[in-house]
A and B are shown apart, each in its own frame.
Chain A
């Protein structure tokens, strides 16, 4: 059995990445994920990897692009404002079908928001694409430290398997809480060599590569988009992931991801102690969204409450999935335990505690 250690979500991401063969990291410090870069700066050189602290997130995303072009398993990590700065690069990498891995540790709000505290307010941006050009990225959302360690490994595999950018959507709580983690190296099906990597043609049998942009490279949008849609459909057909907790006999369904799913999971047991048969549906892939499974589960149970630390973004995908067949309720960022006050610091704090969620469940049952 692999070694078990007590680490936080940020370190789990960094360790998991190295475990998955990530050998290049480019990033810019931003709360609450600077520890990922710190760990990489210390540990990557020990395994022959490359670490560069970039001058900004807009540079980091292009270093990531360059690293992926060079054929290396490459990663960057950032938080909400930095993720916004990266959107142009993500769009470009989508066009060139670059197998990049990006970690997005969400904080709250637009702009500087709360300056680095908890939030899940980037769901729409991460899942629908914040850049131009109607592209898709696979999005994986861990809800524990162990899952952070596992999903980052899976992210590198998926990126290379489909030649697509994969975003691991963490949040402040998942990133900053410490849990016991089994440092297990996951194994996946073998993948072909990256013959297209830019490294000088003498290093790949004399064949040179031209990376000219997807739409140009494929001979125009009429060819590019069908090619991409076929790939996206393959991913939708085979990579949807979700988890359920006590939904089999449930009479009330909670739907949540990331740290909110962690709270909601506890609510399931609390509710059951009080005689309410609650269950949890937790999307792990935010894209592809587990649309059919959500529809089936929600329609079977009938009463649905979405919990997210946001004004309501995941709830849109849930509503779309259930197609109006059952009512969908939302408990959002306003349900945090610290009431919104005038103070600079007080206004941003708080989280949605299980007790508050339970209160809402009782109201709706």
Chain B
């Protein structure tokens, strides 16, 4: 075949709002896919010029380098407080926080809950991988019962550590919330659903309805001690059993 005759049509490219910064996460980690979800939605909505992204002390901290829009790395658990100020000062900006389960559910739970109580018009993206990945796999608020971690070597026991945090359901129970959903990116279909969830969340903020929240179940193969492929199974069999997917709240007015 004549090489000249081969047509080259670009069918896939990096999102416009993603910088050339390489994705530096572990093999099988879903964070790179979630960056893509966020950036594709921002591209499709054409809001790159209005977005301020706040990342947190976690494996998602360096995401600020990946965003081709205004972004900052925030102290551990404090991005909802910082986002509050930025959003109040620039009401037309679209401010979102990216937080890990430890960042949001442990050290930053007070900050997060108070931002929800104030009905801030922010969007929070929770990355729930059930562990502290960055510090080497300790128990987090969303670690499954029975799951072994470096601080629950015999498995998480509710008599010692209580029960896993169901953030999306908790958020949905708050009056100031416009939207709350849980999704995954472990299959192509779920990737598309996740994009719809993030898009809806941003739209709620743009419409000024109230707080919007999207929780991602995300794989952490090295800490879970499984292969990237087994991690997909772990998500569908174990994580989704504890943390059901779906929309838990979707309203057009919080009053």
Q: Which of A59, A72, A198, A200 contacts B81 (CB 8 A)?
A: A59
Q: Is A350 on the interface with B (CB-CB < 8 A)?
A: no
B residues with CB within 8 A of A: 48-52, 62, 64-65, 67-75, 78, 81-86, 88-90, 92-94, 110-111, 114, 118
Known contacts A59-B78, A60-B81, A198-B71; can you find 11 more A-B pairs with CB under 8 A? A26-B85, A63-B85, A66-B81, A69-B82, A70-B86, A198-B52, A198-B86, A200-B52, A200-B93, A206-B49, A211-B73
A65 to B79, CA, bound (A): 10
Q: Which residues of B contact A26 (CB under 8 A)?
A: 85
A81–B52 Cα distance when bound, in Å, is 32
- Which chain A residues in 97-143 approach chain B with CB under 8 Å? none
Which residues of chain A have C-beta atoms less than 8 A from B78's C-beta?
Answer: 58-59, 62, 65, 89
Do A69 and B71 touch (CB < 8 A)? no
> Which of A24, A58, A88 interacts with B88 by CB under 8 Å?
A24
Q: Are A89 and B65 in contact (CB under 8 A)?
A: no
**Complex contact B48–A201 (CB within 8 A):** yes
Query: Beta-carbon contacts of A161-202 to B below 8 Å, as 1s and 0s?
Result: 000000000000000000000000000000000000011111
* Contact across chains for A66 and B71 when beta carbons are under 8 A apart: no
User: Nearest 5 A-B pairs (CB), nearest first?
Assistant: A202-B49, A66-B85, A66-B82, A211-B72, A62-B81
Chain A residues, Cβ within 8 Å of B74: 62
Inter-chain CA distance A210–B62, complex, in Å, is 10
**Do B71 and A65 touch across chains, with their CB atoms under 8 A apart?**
no
A365, CB-defined interface residue at 8 Å: no
Q: Are A208 and B111 interface neighbours, CB within 8 A?
A: no
* Bound Cα distance A327, B52 (Å): 56
Tally inter-chain residue pairs, CB-CB below 8 A.
126
Cα separation A50 to B89 with both chains bound (whole Å): 7
Cβ 8 A contact of A70, one of B71, B75, B89: B89
Within the assembled complex, what's the spacing in Å between the Cα atoms of A213 and B86? Answer: 18
Are B65 and A210 in contact, with the CB atoms below 8 A?
yes
Which residue of B67, B70, B111 has the most chain A CB atoms within 10 A of its CB atom?
B70
B91 to chain A, nearest CB (A): 10
Residue from A23, A56, A60, A201 whose CB has the most chain B CB atoms within 10 Å: A201
From B64, B85, B93, residue with most partner A Cβ within 10 Å: B85
Tell me, yes or no, whether A212 is within 8 Å of chain B by CB.
yes
A52→B84 contact, CB < 8 A: yes
A200/B88 contact (C-beta < 8 A), A66-B83, A210-B71 known: no
Q: Are B90 and A208 in contact (CB under 8 A)?
A: no
| Sample (19) of A-B pairs whose CB atoms are under 8 Å apart | A24-B88, A50-B89, A54-B81, A62-B78, A62-B81, A66-B85, A89-B78, A198-B72, A198-B86, A199-B93, A201-B48, A201-B70, A202-B49, A203-B49, A210-B64, A210-B67, A210-B72, A211-B64, A213-B73
Check A200 against B114 for contact (C-beta < 8 Å): no
Please name all residues of chain A whose beta carbon is closer than 8 Å to the beta carbon of B89 when the two chains form the complex: 23-24, 50, 66-67, 70-72, 199
With known contacts A52-B118, A211-B64, A63–B71 Cβ distance under 8 A: no
A209 interfacial contact with B, CB 8 Å: yes
| Contacting residue for B72 out of A89, A200, A212, CB 8 A | A212
**A212 to B81 CA separation, bound complex (whole angstroms):** 17
Max chain A C-beta neighbours (<10 A), residue from B68, B72, B118: B72
Q: Given the complex of chains A and B, what is the CA–CA distance between A55 and B85 in angstroms?
A: 14
| Given A209-B70, A210-B72, A52-B65 contact (CB < 8 Å) | no
Mark contacts of A44-83 with chain B using CB atoms, 8 A cut-off: 1 yes-contact digit, 0 otherwise: 0000001010111011101111110111101000000000
Give chain B residues whose Cβ lies under 8 Å from the Cβ of A62.
74-75, 78, 81-82, 85, 111
**Residue A281 lies at the interface, judged by CB distance under 8 Å to chain B:** no
- The chain A residues found within 8 Å of chain B, CB to CB, are 23-24, 26, 50, 52, 54-56, 58-60, 62-67, 69-72, 74, 88-89, 92, 96, 198-203, 206, 208-213, 216
Q: Which of the listed residues B62, B65, B93 has the most CB atoms from chain A within 10 Å of its own CB? A: B93
Distance in Å: Cβ of A206 to nearest Cβ of chain B? 7
B210 CB, nearest partner CB in chain A, Å:
16
A216 CA / B62 CA spacing, docked (Å): 10
Task: Decide if B71 touches A200 in the complex (CB within 8 Å).
Answer: no
CA–CA, A203 and B86, complex, Å: 14
CB neighbours of B118 from chain A (8 A): 52
> Across the interface, which residues of B come within 8 angstroms of A216, CB to CB?
73
In the bound complex, what is the Cα–Cα distance between A89 and B73 (angstroms)?
Answer: 13
Distance between Cα atoms of A213 and B111 in the complex (Å): 21
A198 to B51, CA, bound (A): 9
What separation, in Å, do the CA atoms of A212 and B72 have in the docked complex? 6
Given known A208-B71, A210-B64, contact A200–B50 (CB-CB < 8 A): yes
Give the chain B neighbours of A199 by CB distance below 8 A.
52, 70, 86, 89-90, 93
Measured CA separation A203–B92 after assembly (Å): 10
Q: Is the CB of B86 within 8 A of A52?
A: no
Chain A residues positioned under 8 Å from B64 (CB to CB): 210-212
Interfacial chain A residues near B48, Cβ < 8 Å: 201-202
Closest to A204 in B: B70
Asked if residues B73 and A212 are in contact (CB atoms below 8 Å), the reply is: yes
Report the separation of the CA atoms of residues A142 and B48 in the bound assembly, to the nearest whole angstrom: 45
Residue in chain B with minimal CB distance to A55: B114
In the bound assembly, the distance between CA atoms of A67 and B86 in angstroms comes to 6
Question: How far does the alpha carbon of A172 sit from the alpha carbon of B194 in the complex, in Å?
Answer: 54
